[in-house]
Amino acid sequence: MGETKQMLFAKNLICICVDEKKNEDYLGKIYHQYSDSFIPFDGVADMMLKIEELFDEWDFPQRGLAERAFTKEAKEAIRERNKRRHQNDSDLLPIEIIQEKFGVRNIQNKKGELGTFVVQVVYRQDATWQGHVIIKEANEKMDFISAFELIKIMDKALEENQD
């Protein structure tokens, strides 16, 4: 019998490809379904911020808490983003408009040098993420209840891959 591959299907799938470990931190690329290009990240904190920015751009999954800002510039950026969201005349979500405009690509075939993780964040509640992750090298699907737990899952899998 052939090997069964774990798959996820969602509007907001991302693929995190970890390519390098530097100073006990990870570097790599983030792929999403609406672009052929990738988003580079330089460390786990940078990765999380860039993914959060994608979710804000897509407005999916929606934030459980209102976005906060402490500088005048950041507050203005939030106002502009909210204004653009509400200028949409159709009943479509921003992610659905992006989907129609750019089409959908298969990202589950991407591969990182050290590890590959296909992530679906289902909720952004309690100021963190909840969802599912597939560890491609192990063909294992796991649930996480916080961004920190997702990082711990990824770190453990990457350590096991290096052994």
pLDDT of residue 39: 98
Choose among 67, 61, 53, 65: nearest CA to 11.
Answer: 61
**Does the N-terminal peptide bond of residue 94 adopt cis geometry, omega within 30 degrees of 0?**
no
- How many CB atoms within 10 Å of residue 20? 12
Q: Using the predicted structure, report yes or no on whether residue 141 has a pLDDT greater than 80.
A: yes
Dihedral over Cα of 155, 27, 55, 49: its sign: positive
Q: What's the pLDDT tens digit per position in 48-67?
A: 999 999 998 888 887 877 77
Residue 96 burial class via C-beta count within 10 angstroms: exposed 0-12, middle 13-18, buried 19 and up: middle
The structure's pTM equals: 0.84
Q: Tell me what the mean pLDDT of segment 69-84 comes to.
A: 78
Distance CA 109, CA 53 (A): 23
